[in-house]
């Protein structure tokens, strides 16, 4: 991952914008605990870890959850005031507070979306989230950070 961190940092800085679904959890934080501890790219900080399983919240977390924005953002405003989106995952990102942009809950509250500078990442699948996902993708395409 070190070679990737060195080669992609200039690309992110020079890119007009960058988007990730679920991938943001595994590669954008400082470190990840999915399938052993791994270094991340460090683009937004935080740690990727497994959701806590329990009665009523099995893993993987698969299904529809309400996603609530925690702050305004030109792309993620498509989710305001709150929209249902489709999730299929077992790991979550604990980002720094300034990167957290939306939340949801599955046994615990976690970041459903992150945004920092020209980066936007979501934990859910917008392509499976019907009207809310289409609106989000349209806003991303139209966005000029």
Q: Report the catalytic residues.
A: 125, 127
**What is the per-residue pLDDT for 138?**
93
What pLDDT digit, counting tens, does each position of 114-139 carry?
999 888 889 999 999 999 999 999 99
- Residue 83, SS3 per DSSP: strand
**What is the per-residue pLDDT for 4?**
40
**What is the per-residue pLDDT for 16?**
61
The neighbour count for residue 28, using CB atoms within 10 Å, is: 26
The neighbour count for residue 77, using CB atoms within 10 Å, is: 14
What pLDDT digit, counting tens, does each position of 28-72 carry?
766 777 677 878 788 888 888 889 988 989 999 999 999 999 999
pTM flag (> 0.85) = no
Give the Cα separation of 114 and 44 in Å (integer).
8
Give the Cα separation of 102 and 139 in Å (integer).
16
């Amino acid at each position: 991952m070190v070679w990737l961190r060195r080669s992609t940092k200039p690309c992110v800085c020079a890119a007009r914008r960058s988007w990730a679904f679920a991938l943001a959890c595994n590669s954008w934080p400082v470190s990840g605990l999915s399938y052993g501890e791994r270094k991340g790219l460090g683009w937004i900080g935080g740690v990727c870890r497994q959701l806590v399983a329990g009665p009523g919240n099995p893993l993987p977390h698969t299904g529809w959850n309400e996603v609530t924005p925690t702050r305004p953002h030109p792309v993620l405003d498509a989710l305001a005031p709150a929209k249902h989106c489709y999730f299929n995952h077992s790991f979550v990102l604990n980002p720094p507070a300034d990167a957290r942009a939306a939340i949801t809950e599955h046994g615990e509250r976690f970041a459903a979306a992150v945004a920092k500078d020209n980066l936007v990442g979501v934990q859910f699948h917008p392509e499976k989230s019907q009207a809310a996902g289409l609106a989000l993708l349209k806003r991303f395409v139209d966005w000029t950070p």
